């Protein structure tokens, strides 16, 4: 099971230069974990592309349906005291925005005390750097 950042999920929903890469990763290991804000982050990315006329309303509707299907099969790391505690530490340790701290904290919760056993799939370079410093493996 891999932890998927929203930046890696969006190319599963709409065609991007990284779509083939994330499709291959997903096909090799279809089990995924996400944080509780993933749906909102992905919808935000889709809405922005629609506003910028990169996607039609019809394309966004299809992508939203695909997102729901993907997330139904994913393990969702939900908010709680443990997640907030990890997010606070991560914010004070790394140059992260709040949402990225929550996202990385969710991966920390998933990993328990073994971050080297969890791979994070992300295209966010800052998140990847901070996750590597925490001991995670990064793809692609």
Q: CB within 8 A of 48, min separation 6: which ones?
A: none
Query: Which domain range does residue 140 map to?
Result: 1-140
Helix (H) or strand (E) holding 135: none
The total of structural domains in the chain comes to 1
Residue 112 is predicted with a pLDDT of 95
Strands (E) in 19-125, as ranges, are 32-35, 75-77, 119-121
Number of H helices, E strands in the chain: 7, 5
This prediction has a pTM of 0.95
- Domain with residue 8: its CATH number is 3.40.50.1010
Q: Which of 51, 58, 66 is nearest to 13 (CA)?
A: 66
Per-residue pLDDT of the chain (140 residues; tens, 9 = 90+): 999 999 999 999 999 999 999 999 999 999 999 999 999 999 999 999 999 999 999 999 999 999 999 999 999 999 999 999 999 999 999 999 999 999 999 999 999 989 999 999 999 999 999 999 999 999 99
The C-alpha atoms of residue 52 and residue 45 are separated, in whole angstroms, by: 11
């Amino acid at each position: 099971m891999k932890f998927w950042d929203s930046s890696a999920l969006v190319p599963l929903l709409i065609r991007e230069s990284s779509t083939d890469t994330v499709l291959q990763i997903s096909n090799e290991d279809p089990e995924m974990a996400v944080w509780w804000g993933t749906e909102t982050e992905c919808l935000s990315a889709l809405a922005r592309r629609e506003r910028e006329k990169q996607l039609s309303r019809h394309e966004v509707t299809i992508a939203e349906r695909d997102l729901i299907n993907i997330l139904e099969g994913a393990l969702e790391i939900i908010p709680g005291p443990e997640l907030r505690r990890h997010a606070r530490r991560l914010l004070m340790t790394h140059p992260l925005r709040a949402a990225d701290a929550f996202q990385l904290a969710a991966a920390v919760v998933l990993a328990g005390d073994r971050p080297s056993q969890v791979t994070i799939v992300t295209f966010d370079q800052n998140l990847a750097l901070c996750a590597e410093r925490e001991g995670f493996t990064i793809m692609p």
